[in-house]
Amino acid sequence: MKKILITGALGQLGSEIAAELRSRFGVDKVVLTDRRDDVNTDLVEEGPFYRFDVRHGEELAAVVRRYRIDTIYHLAALLSATAENDPQTAWDLNLNGLMTVLEVAREERCAVFTPSSIGAFGPSTPRDWTPQDTIQRPTSMYGVTKVAGELLCDYYYHKYGVDTRGVRYPGLISNRTLPGGGTTDYAVDVYYQAVRRGRYSCFLKGDTYLDMMYMPDAVRAAVDLMEADPARLRHRNAFNVTAMSFCPEEQAAYIRRYIPDFEIDYHVDPVRQAIANSWPNNLEDYAARVEWDWEPRFDLDTMTRDMLRVLSRRLEDARYVWSDEG
Ligand code: NAD
Ligand code: AKB
């Protein structure tokens, strides 16, 4: 019987994984935790929720024991841009938070899902068709914590037999919860601004290619990996996964298929541009396809269509009106 706990459950990824797991396994089988409770209050009120800092292991262990948790989705972390502005906190949260979760998992015999990122690669990594197993010398603090996190999860598997699993996500695009301070946040903001104002000012250069994924694929990747036959998993903690690679100019061109007068200009943020320049253009995700049948369902066109449809219907100040013939 699955009993799941999610850390960072009210964030961009956590809020969507929480909704999917609660609909799949039952609301009372999925316990949400976060250090805040003032966003996604529907999730907070609908079922078990606990507010605490994930680095507080005693509080985490008490909830794990109370609900007899067998699987932890550990999503509390600082993203790349926020981490670069406060590297000391990023180190503390991203690594001591993970260590706390792994220790509780070891003692209480839980499986653990921990996402890594394209941020685990650096400028000396091959930029095109970045292989699963390759050079990892990231230059951002976020990347340093992600590489160390991948290794720490491998260590807990080999040393203690903790069933640790994870993927290297690309930039995630979604319409439920706004992104939390990453380099790829522009790729979400652009849809909100396209629907509201018909124009967007982008903080990355127009020709900056990065891997991206629509949230339904990201949620499916996490759940499918955690359900996968362990005998088939050779990599476990850091599977490259991707769905598409594009630059802001290309994304704008796809938005113009639906909003022909959409305009984009560029006011480059040097910190986030430097981080983006150090990341791959596009990943190769063969190991995930072979070891647990990973396959994305959304491409740039189908994602753009869905984002514009959903946001134009939901945002009260939407200027763009969706037409089903469009
Ligand atoms: P997010 O910033 O949207 O959410 C993180 C959540 O963690 C927030 O709700 C925050 O309140 C909570 N949190 C922060 N500090 C905490 C603490 N000390 N104790 C308890 N909770 C705390 O981030 P996200 O986008 O949902 O990312 C989740 C995971 O996925 C992270 O590990 C991130 O690195 C990884 N990831 C995300 C993306 C993406 O594009 N969103 C891409 C690659 C990897
Ligand atoms: C970020 O930009 O920090 C995240 C990521 C790709 O890890 N979206």
Indicate if ligand 2 lies below 6 Å from the C-beta of 183.
yes
DSSP readout, 230-251? Answer: GGG-SS-S-EE--SEEE-HHHH
Indicate if ligand 1 lies below 6 Å from the C-beta of 179.
yes
Question: Which regions of the chain carry the CATH code 3.90.25.10?
Answer: 172-212+243-314
Q: Are 225 and 167 in contact (CB under 8 A)?
A: yes
Q: Which atom of ligand 1 is nearest to the CA of 76?
A: 7
Q: Which ligand approaches the C-alpha of residue 13 most closely?
A: 1
Domain 4-171+215-240: CATH class, spelled out? alpha beta
Strand ranges in the chain using DSSP code E only, listed in sequence order: 4-7, 30-34, 49-51, 71-74, 111-113, 116-117, 128-130, 164-165, 167-169, 171-173, 199-202, 210-214, 239-240, 244-246, 263-266, 282-283
By residue count, the chain amounts to 326
Q: What's the CA-to-centroid distance between 141 and ligand 1, angstroms?
A: 15
Phi, psi of 160 (to 5 degrees): -120, -5
Indicate if ligand 2 lies below 6 Å from the C-beta of 116.
no
User: CA-to-CA distance for 98 and 153, rounded, in angstroms?
Assistant: 9
Indicate if ligand 1 lies below 6 Å from the C-beta of 93.
yes
12-25 helix and 215-227 helix, angle to the nearest 10 degrees: 60
Cβ atoms within 10 A of the Cβ of 314, count?
11
Q: Which ligand approaches the C-alpha of residue 182 most closely?
A: 2
Indicate if ligand 2 lies below 6 Å from the C-beta of 248.
no
User: In 3D, which of 144, 151, 183, 148 has the Cα closest to residue 272?
Assistant: 183
Residue the block writes with tokens 């903001």: 189
Indicate if ligand 1 lies below 6 Å from the C-beta of 167.
no
Q: What's the CA-to-centroid distance between 307 and ligand 2, angstroms?
A: 19
User: In 3D, which of 195, 198, 212 has the Cα closest to residue 276?
Assistant: 212
User: CA-to-CA distance for 32 and 34, rounded, in angstroms?
Assistant: 7
Indicate if ligand 2 lies below 6 Å from the C-beta of 138.
no
Question: Is there a catalytic annotation at residue 192?
Answer: no
Query: What tokens does 13 get?
Result: 């990824």
Q: What's the CA-to-centroid distance between 34 and ligand 1, angstroms?
A: 10
pTM of the model: 0.98
Residue pLDDT tens, the chain, 326 long = 699 999 999 999 999 999 999 999 999 999 999 999 999 999 999 999 999 999 999 999 999 999 999 999 999 999 999 999 999 999 999 999 999 999 999 999 999 999 999 999 999 999 999 999 999 999 999 999 999 999 999 999 999 999 999 999 999 999 999 999 999 999 999 999 999 999 999 999 999 999 999 999 999 999 999 999 999 999 999 999 999 999 999 999 999 999 999 999 999 999 999 999 999 999 999 999 999 999 999 999 999 999 999 999 999 999 999 987 65
Q: What's the CA-to-centroid distance between 320 and ligand 1, angstroms?
A: 30
Q: Are 136 and 147 in contact (CB under 8 A)?
A: yes
Question: Which regions of the chain carry the CATH code 3.40.50.720?
Answer: 4-171+215-240
Task: Decide: helix, strand or coil at residue 82.
Answer: helix
Q: Are 245 and 304 in contact (CB under 8 A)?
A: no
Ligand 2 pocket test target in 184, 203, 272 with most atoms within 8 Å of CB: 184
Nearest Cα residue to atom 5 of ligand 2? 171
Task: Decide: helix, strand or coil at residue 26.
Answer: coil
User: CA-to-CA distance for 60 and 34, rounded, in angstroms?
Assistant: 11
CA distances from 69 to 4, 31, 56, 66, 72 (A): 5, 9, 17, 8, 7
Q: What is the CATH number of domain 172-212+243-314?
A: 3.90.25.10
Catalytic residue among 50, 67, 73, 142: 142
Indicate if ligand 2 lies below 6 Å from the C-beta of 117.
yes
Query: What tokens does 231 get?
Result: 């005998």
